[in-house]
A and B are shown apart, each in its own frame.
Chain A
Amino acid sequence: MSFAPVYLDWNATTPLDLNVREAMLPWLAAAEPARFGNASSRHEYGRQARAAIDEARARVAAAVGAHATEVIFTSGGSEANNLFLKGAAGCLKPGMVAVSAIEHPCVREPAKQLRRSAWLLEEIAVDAQGVVDAQDWRRVLNARPKLVSVMLANNETGVLQNVPALAAEARALGAWFHTDAVQALGKVEVDFRALGVNAMTLSAHKIGGPLGAGALVVDKRVELMPLIAGGGQERGLRSGTENVAAIVGFGVACERAVTRRTFEAARLTQLRGQIESGLALLGATVFSRAAQRLPNTVFFAFDNIDGETLVGKLDRAGFACASGSACSSAQPEPSHALLAMGVDPVVARGAVRVSLGRDTTADEVERFVATLSRVVEDLKKLASVAH
């Protein structure tokens, strides 16, 4: 790129942390001493790889308050979500699986797939703020689901769920409870024991780590049928030659993200506040404003301004944002989460997501607000001329 836009799409993916980069390069033959062994090989090259993986596993576990033996490395968050839902279902007689109405497609779709093996799928409704609706939650619990999955933080609205309470209630009735913590790690506190879940999903590239590595953190009581068969890696739960470079990067990224979390959360909350002040002046709707949210995320819309159009103008003006999650941006459909919150599809089409990160500066935010004002005023003028 000849000029780099200011990156305000940190929920989609994040630039690599420098410490992560340093740790990874030897494993990609881009720094000396070059390391490359297959961790299953018995010679020194293999042993080095095995040691690096063990170290990374310990780091990930320590960062989230789990045991190293509870960490299963996967190729990413999507795979970990698939592994929990299909893997746990594969060891149970068919029953009910319940997922919230605002889950990411990589939880929704595997859950839907379970219907082909005689499972029933229930959706847990959310309220207008995007928080799990208490009444509907009771309804679903009464139906005694065997598997429940509710994401800790939503990628579009940033809304946080009261996972410890939900998990405790579901587990008391005999369900396995899983949470997709991919967006939460590094932004809010993520402690496996404190959350009281049976399983949770993590992803490296959301926390300054590389693409290509994720984990399912899962307690030993949950029996899982592996999705990928073969050489027996990850204690038979996930076969395939381990991607040492990515796993090493993931370990360092977890450590770094958790270390700077408190400071970053405060800093980003403040910066996000500046954006929301600007949005208020411009008359925007901020979704889930009244709910507990991730500190870095603001999902908003302007009346009569199409989200795709606004994002396009912002990109041309030097700011990279998103009009909904990357995974579904190929389809021009309004945000699934907003529809579940009861937002009018017409309003939802205006949605734009801005998500900040560790490199975001106060200056960038100031310039963004100024640019946003200008762009919105221009688009409003165009809209009024058109009517």
Chain B
Amino acid sequence: MLKFPIYLDYSATTPVDPRVAAKMIPWLTEHFGNPASRSHAYGWEAEQAVEEAREQVAALVNADAKEIIWTSGATESNNLAIKGAAHFYQGKGKHVITVKTEHKAVLDTVRELEREGFEATYLDVQENGLIDLEVLKAAIRPDTILISVMFVNNEVGVVQPIAEIGELCREKGIIFHVDAAQATGKVDIDLEKLKVDLMSFSAHKTYGPKGVGALYVRRKPRVRLEAQMHGGGHERGLRSGTLATHQIVGMGEAFRLAREEMTEENARIRKLRDKLLNGLTDIEATFVNGDVEQRVPHNLNISFAYVEGESLIMAIKDIAVSSGSACTSASLEPSYVLRALGRNDELAHSSIRFSIGRFTTEEEVDFTIDLLHKKIGKLRELSPLWDMYKEGIDLDTVQWAAH
């Protein structure tokens, strides 16, 4: 029994796992205490639940619970990490390096640092979406204090060489921040091995609730941050604000499930992804965006040439996916990530990100393959550009007449 639209947008957000919901709800209803209330059992039990969840989050990434700070989500964690570290260490230098394909939560925060007088280098990526370590090395200056590179890219699913970058940063004494919002439950994260200083986590990308995230802050060697949210001194002064027990419990449970089920789940998802990939690349003139090997199996970003982007999105309304266009208030812009991979505007606009997850079924994948075959076929029948392509005309050489 298919439910329409079929949800294939797990990278945008994931449904709360029913087991996570079951664990959370009592903390929203009966056990409603403020975890900072020290004078009664309502408060104590809430505090205990928060600390248990902290252990669960730490366990997924092989960190110490003391290194986990609760935030309202990965966007806030990214802001706290980048502004917090840059401000704390600005005595040592004011140069920051990041990558053009980062999430806006990182890019806009770095831009804010630039407005404050910091200098920033935004690295290009290769056509496969991966950064070139030599390019990174060349960008490092004596006054570089912070480097931020995401673990898994949200649009194209590629996995950056975090271990190698960590070694490089440690060697040079540069703080290394990693946005791991799309990584938890998908790739192995071992913070005892990885030389990462700050790592951002999101609950709602890993079958937990929205509104909660965390920031890993390394203690050995000690990393310092300037707090961004001030008040009652919660989270050892790093992030003030009453903790939302039920959300935190949800994140803990979600991360516990991720730890237990990741291996098996990834295998299942890889099979589904392979089927989807074969079924879609079967269609002529399709291109997979992002490295085929260095990627998570959950994400498949494909460009369908000679099809108009908006028409494509309209035609496949039976599946809920994400396109290569981003809505700003006035216009439809092509994805800056796809542009960074070298895709031109048209191809960027005719890209679809399929992201599958825990509840995706084979039936849904089959339906999707059929749907795309049908619709792409129809749309290309109507496309004059497709006709020209079939006739062998190189569209790049055509002189288009202006009207």
Chain A interface (Cβ < 8 Å from any Cβ of B): 1, 5, 7, 9, 12-16, 21, 24-25, 28-30, 34, 36-38, 40-46, 75-79, 81-82, 104-106, 109-110, 112-113, 205, 210-213, 227-232, 239-246, 308, 311-312, 315, 320-323, 326-330
Residue pair A109, B104 in contact (C-beta under 8 Å): no
Chain B residue nearest to A111 (CB atoms) is B230
Asked whether B370 is an interface residue with its Cβ less than 8 Å from the other chain, the reply is no
**CB neighbours of B229 from chain A (8 A):** 78-79, 82, 227
Q: Report, nearest first, the 4 A-B pairs whose CB atoms are least far apart.
A: A243-B211, A106-B231, A327-B232, A230-B105
Question: Which residues of B sit under 8 angstroms from A244, Cβ to Cβ?
Answer: 210
Q: Answer whether residue B16 sits at the interface, using C-beta atoms and an 8 A cutoff.
A: yes
**B228 near A105 (CB under 8 angstroms)?**
no
Say whether A229 contacts B12, CB under 8 Å: no
* B37-A230 in contact (CB<8A): no
Does B386 sit within 8 A of A, measured CB to CB? no
Tell whether, in the assembled complex, residue A230 and residue B15 are in contact, meaning their CB atoms are under 8 Å apart: no
A29 touches B232 (CB 8 A): no
Closest Cβ of chain B: how far from A325's Cβ, in Å? 8
The interface residues of chain A lying within 8 Å CB-to-CB of B40 are: 5, 9, 311, 315, 320-322
Given A40-B12, A45-B320: A241 touches B210 (CB 8 Å cut-off)? yes
26 A-B pairs (CB sep. < 8 Å): A1-B31, A9-B34, A12-B37, A13-B33, A29-B17, A36-B13, A43-B320, A44-B320, A75-B73, A75-B244, A105-B240, A106-B231, A109-B231, A210-B246, A211-B243, A211-B245, A231-B75, A232-B104, A232-B328, A239-B75, A243-B210, A311-B39, A322-B40, A327-B36, A328-B232, A329-B36
Q: Is the CB of B108 within 8 A of A312?
A: no
The reply to whether A29 and B16 contact each other, CB–CB distance below 8 Å, is: yes
Contact, CB under 8 Å: A246 / B211: yes
For residue A21, which residue of chain B has the nearest CB? B29
Residues of chain B within 8 A of A227, CB atoms compared: 79, 228-229
Decide if A230 touches B72 in the complex (CB within 8 Å): no
Contact residue among B204, B242, B243, B323 (Cβ-Cβ distance under 8 Å from A241):
B204
Q: Which of these binds chain A: B41-49, B127-135, B217-225, B333-341? A: B41-49
Q: Are A79 and B241 in contact (CB under 8 A)?
A: yes
| A-chain residues with CB within 8 Å of residue B34 when the two chains form the complex | 9, 12-13, 205, 211, 326
Pick the contact of A327: B45, B104, B109, B242 (CB < 8 A).
Answer: B242
In the assembled complex, B32 has its CB within 8 A of some CB on chain A: yes
A43 to B9, CA, bound (A): 9
With A and B bound together, what is the CA distance between A34 and B104 in angstroms? 28
In the assembled complex, how far is the CB of residue B56 from the closest CB belonging to chain A, in whole angstroms?
18
Given contacts A246-B244, A329-B38, 20 further A-B contacts (CB under 8 A): A7-B42, A13-B33, A15-B29, A24-B28, A38-B9, A41-B12, A42-B322, A43-B5, A43-B320, A77-B242, A105-B233, A106-B240, A106-B241, A205-B242, A211-B34, A211-B243, A211-B245, A211-B246, A241-B13, A243-B73
B7 at the interface (CB under 8 A from A): yes
Cβ of A112: which chain B residues have Cβ within 8 Å of it?
230
B24 at the interface (CB under 8 A from A): yes
CA distance A1 to B40 in the complex (A): 11
Q: How far is the CA of A326 from the CA of B22 in the complex (A)?
A: 28
Q: Considering only CB atoms, which chain B residue lies closest to A18 in the complex?
A: B29
- Nearest-CB residue, chain A, relative to B328: A232
In the complex, what distance in Å separates the CA atom of A320 from the CA atom of B204?
Answer: 34
- Contact check, B244 vs A245: say whether CB atoms are below 8 A apart: no
Classify the secondary structure of A's interface with B.
loop
Chain B residues, CB < 8 A from A205: 34, 242, 244
Is B1 interfacial (CB 8 A cutoff)? no
Determine if B103 is an interface residue (Cβ-Cβ < 8 Å): yes
- Once bound together, how far apart are the Cα atoms of A321 and B40, in whole Å? 7
Q: Does B14 contact A (CB under 8 A)?
A: yes
Distance between Cα atoms of A246 and B32 in the complex (Å): 14
Could you tell me if A320 and B42 are in contact, using CB atoms closer than 8 angstroms?
yes
Nearest chain A CB to B120's CB is how many angstroms away? 13
Could you say which residues of chain B place their CB within 8 Å of the CB of A239?
A: 75, 104-105, 108
Given known pairs A36-B15, A110-B230, A330-B233, the reply for A76 and B32 (CB within 8 Å) is: no
**Bound complex: CA A213 to CA B247 (Å):** 11
Nearest-neighbor residue (CB-CB) of A44 within chain B? B5
B34, B45, B112 pick with most chain A CB within 10 angstroms: B34
Inter-subunit contact A230/B79 (CB<8 Å): yes
The residues of B that contact A231 with a CB separation of less than 8 Å are 75, 103-105
Contact of B109 among A13, A16, A213, A229 (CB under 8 A): A229
Bound: A43/B322 CA distance, A = 8
CB distance from A185 to the nearest CB of B (A): 16
Are the CB atoms of B14 and A78 closer together than 8 Å?
no
**Closest Cβ–Cβ distance, residue A221 to chain B (whole Å):** 21
Residues of A within 8 A of B76 (CB): 75, 228, 240
B351 contacts the other chain (CB 8 A): no
Asked whether B18 is an interface residue with its Cβ less than 8 Å from the other chain, the reply is: yes
| Cβ-defined contact, B320 with A41, below 8 A | yes
Kindly state the separation between the CA atoms of A228 and B84 in the bound complex, as whole angstroms: 12
Distance in Å: Cβ of A304 to nearest Cβ of chain B = 20
Q: Give residues of chain B (32-74) contacting chain A, Cβ–Cβ below 8 Å.
A: 32-34, 36-43, 45, 72-74
